[in-house]
Structure formats: structure tokens, C-alpha cells
Amino acid sequence: MRRRVVSSQQLQYVQRLHKWGAAFRSLNSSPSPSTTPSFQQTTTLFSHSEFLSKNKRVEDLMPIATGHEREELEAELQGRDILEMDYPVGPFGTKEAPAVVKSVYDKRIVGCPGAEGEDEHDVVWFWLEKGKPHECPVCSQYFKLDVVGLGGPPDGHGDDH
């Protein structure tokens, strides 16, 4: 890999980083108006909160980001939560208004914990399939699958159907 040449674009990038840095620190109730922080923690496990500003592209933030790292950063900049469908939650599903569970494939394992409080029950696991709504045998909660991804069998072998 060749050495990257410092361009005016990069200079702007560095200046922008500075601006955000200052904004982030002031949000964190830092009373000092000075531009340089007295101390920055070295072990920042999650240092991404400061770039949640609007209209920024991955190129501005981390030009070399690629693959899944880039998708993750992009979604964060756009304010989307790409992990949201991992933890389906919502009001108790009925026949009229089923609990919708998103899925990349045509079926997904779902667990029903019952309703809240007194009506809670041990989690009952089941396969929720596309076009086949499921009614929980314990609390009769109603589930429906919403395929948002590629569809097809989830095991990747194609011998399921």
C-alpha cells in the first residue's frame, strides 16, 4: 500500500474532526471553553457517540472503512439501528393485530414469554414460518412473520423446501 498524500481534503477532514470533538466535549458538561481537552481517556471502548451529527458520510469519518464495518458506521450516521430486528418486542399480539417478527429468511425461531406481569409464562419456543401465523398454545398470543431479507431456507442448504 502506498503512503497517502496529504491533500486539502484531508486537511478539511482533520479540521472537521476537531469541530466535532469540541462539540462532543461541551455536551459532556465540560465547563472549560478551551479547545484542547486536559485529558482524554485512552481506553475508549465505545468512542463513536461523537459522530452522530447529521449529514455526515462514512468518507468524512473513516475513509478507509469497508465491508461490514462500513455498513455499521453508515447505519449509525443515518440514525438507523441495524441490530433492531434481533430483539423483537412489542404489544401483545392478537388475531386482529398480530405480533410481527421480522426475518431475513422464510422462517425464524421465536420465543413467546406471554403477556406482562401475572400473565407471564415460561418462554415457549417455536418455528414461525412465512404465511403461517402462529398462536401460542399457552397464552394464545398471535405471531406473524415479516420477511425483510432474501427469503429462502435459513440453513443455507436449500434442501428445506
Partner 1 sequence: MIESQRHSYHLVDPSPWPISGSLGALATTVGGVMYMHSFQGGATLLSLGLIFILYTMFVWWRDVLRESTFEGHHTKVVQLGPRYGFILFIVSEVMFFFALFRASSHSSLAPTVEIGGIWPPKGIAVLDPWEIPFLNTLIPLSSGAAVTWAHHAILAGKEKRAVYALVATVSLALVFTGFQGMEYYQAPFTISDSIYGSTFFLATGFHGFHVIIGTIFSIICGIRQYLGHLTKEHHVGFEAAAWYWHFVDVVRLFLFVSIYWWGGI
Which residues make up each annotated binding site? 112, 121, 136, 139
Reduce the DSSP state of residue 86 to 3 states and report it: helix
Residue 72 binding partner 1, by CB under 8 A: yes
Residue 106 binding partner 1, by CB under 8 A: no
Residue 123 binding partner 1, by CB under 8 A: no
**Joined grid coordinates for residue 58:** 462514512
Helices (H), the chain: 8-27, 58-61, 67-77
Please state the closest distance from residue 92 (CB atom) to partner 1, in A.
25
Residue 60 binding partner 1, by CB under 8 A: no
Residue 9 binding partner 1, by CB under 8 A: no
| CB burial string 54-82: b at 16+ within 10 A, e below | eebebebbeeeeeeeeeeebeebbeeeee
106 near 130, Cβ under 8 Å? yes
Cα gap 144→128, rounded to integer Å = 7
| Residues placed in the known binding site for Zn(2+) | 112, 121, 136, 139
Q: For residues 67 and 91, which CB has a smaller minimum distance to partner 1 in the complex?
A: 67
Binding site for partner 1 (CB under 8 A): 1, 3-4, 6, 13-14, 17-18, 21, 40, 42-43, 45-48, 51, 61-62, 64-73, 75, 82-83, 85-86, 104, 149
